Amino acid sequence: MDCRVVVEAAIPVYDVTTPDEAIRIAISKTGEMLNPDLSYVEISMGSRTSPEGEELSPAFIAADEALVALELEMTVFNVEREQHASRIARKEIGQRLDNVPLKVLSVEEIEDEDGEGDEDDDEAGNEDGDDEGDEDETTAESAEGSADGADDDEDLIPEFDELVDDG
C-alpha cells in the first residue's frame, strides 16, 4: 500500500522582522536542507489556531527570531500499514532536518488509479507525477522503500550494531 504522510516541522529562523519574511526564509531554508535527496517532499505553510479557535500566522516572532510551522508532505511507497509509513517519513525527513522537531499530522492511504490494491505494483515514483528525468530519485526511493519495507527487526539491528561499535 502507498500512503501520503503530512509531517509538521518547527523551523527556527533568525534576524527577521515580519511573519511573511520568516515564512519565506523558513520555506527556503527547509528546501535547501531537503534537496536534492528529498526534492519530492512538498513544503507548505502550517496552520496554527488560538485556544479560542482563531486562525494565527504560522510564524511566531520574538526578539527578531521566529519559529515557523511548516507542513512537509511526502508519499511513502510499499508499506505494510499507516504506522510504518509515518515512521519512514519521520526518519527520511528527520535525517535531513537536524534538530528540528517533527510531528506526524496525518497518514492517508492512496488508492491506485485502477481502484485495486498495489499487490502487483512494486515500482515507486515521485509525487509530481512526471517520472521523466527523475530516474535517480525513483531508483533511490525504491531502494529506500525496499530497505525500509523489510522486516522491522532488520531496521533495528544496524542501529544497534552502530551503538555497540561506538561504545
Helix (H, G, I), strand (E, B) or coil at 152: helix
124 found inside a domain: no
Assessment of whether the complete model's pTM goes beyond 0.85? no
76 found inside a domain: yes
120 found inside a domain: no
70 found inside a domain: yes
119 found inside a domain: no
Number of Cβ within a 10 Å radius of residue 167: 5
Number of Cβ within a 10 Å radius of residue 51: 5
107 found inside a domain: yes
Q: Is 127 in contact with 42 (CB distance < 8 Å)?
A: yes
The pLDDT value recorded for residue 156 is: 45
**CATH code, domain carrying 109:** 3.30.70
Number of Cβ within a 10 Å radius of residue 131: 13
pLDDT tens-digit profile of 96-108? 998 899 999 999 9
pLDDT tens-digit profile of 40-56? 899 999 888 889 999 98
DSSP letter string, 56-125: E-SEEEETTEEEEEEEEEEEE-S-SSHHHHHHHHHHHHHHHSTT--EEEEEEEEEPPTTSS-STT-----
159 found inside a domain: no
User: How many structural domains compose the chain?
Assistant: 1
Give the whole-angstrom CA distance, residue 49 versus residue 55: 5
pLDDT tens-digit profile of 137-160? 433 444 444 444 444 444 444 455
165 found inside a domain: no
Give the whole-angstrom CA distance, residue 56 versus residue 44: 15
Given a cut of 90, whether residue 39 has pLDDT beyond it is no
The range of the structural domain enclosing residue 65 comes to 1-113
User: How far does the chain reach from its first CA to its final CA, in angstroms?
Assistant: 38
